[in-house]
């Protein structure tokens, strides 16, 4: 058994497989997941698990060189936007329209679906390198 870090087997496997500039998405329970992109569904009920602790656990293990969010989050979900700004204070944040965000998801290695039920609680994490 692992001593620490992400214990979820599919998420652990996905994170270990990412190379430089590969992306993984963490989303709310309403985010449409494109066909052909691996889905890791953590949602149990509305709100469980929440978005923030899932993103934080992944951020502890992944070198993130950039995050991409829907620009709508700034106005419609200031709390989650503030969380992302604080957690990723040392990486660039790219803001794009929600429609463009959904199109970009087609290139992701996987989408991790949480039970989060607040608007635009979605992030694309771009993998960096540890050297």
Query: CA 105, CA 125: separation in Å to the nearest integer?
Result: 11
Enzyme catalytic residues: 20
- Closest C-alpha among 46, 23, 51, 45 to residue 110: 23
Residue 79: how many other CB atoms lie within 10 Å: 11
């Amino acid at each position: 058994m692992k001593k620490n870090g992400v214990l979820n087997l599919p998420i652990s496997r996905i994170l270990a497989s990412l190379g430089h500039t590969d992306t993984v998405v963490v989303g709310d329970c309403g985010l449409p997941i494109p066909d052909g992109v691996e889905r890791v569904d953590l949602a149990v009920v509305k709100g469980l698990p929440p978005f923030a602790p899932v993103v934080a656990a992944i951020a502890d293990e992944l070198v993130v060189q950039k995050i991409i969010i829907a620009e709508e989050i700034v106005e419609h979900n200031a709390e989650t936007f503030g969380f992302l700004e604080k957690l990723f204070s040392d990486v660039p944040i790219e803001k794009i329209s929600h429609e463009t965000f959904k199109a970009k998801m087609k290139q992701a290695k996987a989408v991790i679906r949480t039970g989060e039920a607040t608007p635009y609680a979605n992030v694309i994490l771009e993998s960096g390198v540890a050297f």
